[in-house]
Amino acid sequence: MSGDELLAVAEEAARAGAAVLVPRFGREAALAAKSSPTDLVSEADLASERAIRAVLAAARPDDGVLGEEGTGDVPGTTGLRWVVDPLDGTIDYLYGHPQWCVSVAVEDEDGGVAGVVFDPLRDELFRAVRGGGATLGGAPLSLREPAPELAGALVATGFGYEARVRAAQAAIVTELLPEVRDIRRAGSAALDLAWTAAGRHDAYYEFGVQHWDVAAGALIAAEAGLAVRTLVGGDGLPPGIAVAAPGLIDPLLARVDR
């Protein structure tokens, strides 16, 4: 199956998950806490992942699946694995903030092959195929030129769920804020990546993201021409991801990944 055909499956799966989520938006209660009292999951997360897995099972039954809320993840037999975040931005979703999405990617041993980030409230579909570019609503995404200096950059970020990690992240933001145009924290790593690819941010970085948070968004960013780097972390910070134009990424990393 070609990258475009896999992309079509990813879109179908993401739309199936979103169809479950939209009617419940802002009216759902948390089901349980996961890694900490601030890390919540809802029945909507679980229902969305079930809908996504049903599409994948029908279209690609022999592929592996890694999902945020699922159990029994297996590698499959085809060399392809689907990486699913059925609701990225759960806290926003539960509070009625319109900043959440569904993220579906497929990867092989070399990394991402195809991926989508779907924002159903805005009806925005970000898509990418490895080597085939990235699009928003069918229109190509590309770098905004020239890239700004760090002092003129709008930088998006996010924060972890554990208090000790947040304390370390807060220290970085405190130092970074005077050196950039402004900071944005919206609550969905997948959308932060997609929005950076679309030029709505100049850069994005976050420590402690999970693979399902960024698998599709990182591919979209890379195919839009952005530099995608791994944050090393340390000193209380887990590894993470940073995305920016090639001319901006090193100055950003020098400030945030020490």
- Are the C-beta atoms of 212 and 235 separated by less than 8 Å? no
Residues 6+ apart with CB under 8 A from 124: 118, 136, 137
pLDDT of residue 21: 95
- Residue 194 phi, psi dihedral angles, 5° rounding: -65, -40
pLDDT of residue 38: 43
Low-confidence residues of the chain, pLDDT below 70? 28-41, 69-72, 258
pLDDT of residue 72: 58
pLDDT of residue 54: 96
pLDDT of residue 143: 87
Q: How many residues does the chain have?
A: 258
pLDDT of residue 26: 77
SS3 call for 218: helix
Element at 43 (helix H, strand E): helix 43-59
Distance CA 170, CA 222 (A): 27
* Domain 3-141 architecture: 2-Layer Sandwich (3.30)
Distance CA 25, CA 64 (A): 29
pLDDT per residue as tens digits for the range 29-56: 555 444 444 444 678 888 999 999 999 9
Q: Would you tell me which CATH number, out of the four given (3.40.50.10860, 3.40.50.300, 3.40.190.80, 3.30.428.10), belongs to the domain 150-256?
A: 3.40.190.80
- Sheet strands (E) in 173-251: 182-184, 203-207, 227-231, 240-244
All structural domains of the chain with their residue ranges: 3-141, 150-256
- Are the C-beta atoms of 203 and 197 separated by less than 8 Å? no
Element at 90 (helix H, strand E): helix 90-95
Nearest Cα to Cα of residue 104 among 74, 83, 87: 83
Question: Letter for the amino acid at 218?
Answer: A
Nearest Cα to Cα of residue 98 among 26, 198, 200: 26
pLDDT of residue 33: 42
